[in-house]
Structure 1
């Protein structure tokens, strides 16, 4: 399947947009039963085709943001990824930013543990059947998710564009560039 792109529907739904594209590229064809997520209004998507659409992204975003109008957090991305039938792991690299994020969002690690998601150290190397959602900082403004592939390309849902250059050349906000936070969510299809 070719490398896809998708424009996020809100300024905070980048994680959901990345997960939607990753799932589509990895061959997921249908929306899952997301009613077990505890998030209301996700049941209407059960069995619907997985499409690069605002409707599918909104249903995924309801889970990745834990039902709140905020950033998609690693635990929410992991939960939605598992519901989509993907294998999920989280990696943390570096000693400062991951610790600050753990301090600011203390429940994320507990939720990942409850989901049975393995938390690894270091930057993962991807197989062809995997995609990686990379949390990047935008100056001091906040967090953003981009999708990294095993072929070395990135998809940025803020611009619905694929890039073959370095992640650090992607930021389109004038002098602001993306800063790697060291938080990575890897999703993949089971190997046979």
Structure 2
């Protein structure tokens, strides 16, 4: 079979905010559409299969001077959304993002780390852990309210990616502390079941 004239089966390219938010809404992302203020430092990418978007990512500069893991805006940027039409596409787009977008942003902006906050009750971290990311910190938020949206806050893990395995290992949260937090979260997870 000759595939030389076939269109690409899968592509990964920049997308606009409208496409991003349509996907986040259609696919039911728990955080909803991307409503963060834009300071010109946000980057949206989508993966297409047979021309249709199947997964999206949204990245931006840190919203606060330092993230919950203590990294500054000059050291890190945030991967704020990973969402897909079906779960298996999440792993594929995260890997593509890490292999292409992350190094490009680091080269042009001088970042060292990518961080991502993940709801600690809804997710166990498998997506990031299986891609080599490490837990950097735990951010308590369940007793707060988001001033931008009015939504109740959530407890979150802060996951981090750095290309140097030694740097990742040294920055990783103490595993005994993470295990103790996970044990406390388990009862909340069971209540949701």
Category of TM-score, reference length = shorter chain = 0.3 to 0.5
Q: Which has the higher contact order (CA 8 A, sep 6+)?
A: 1
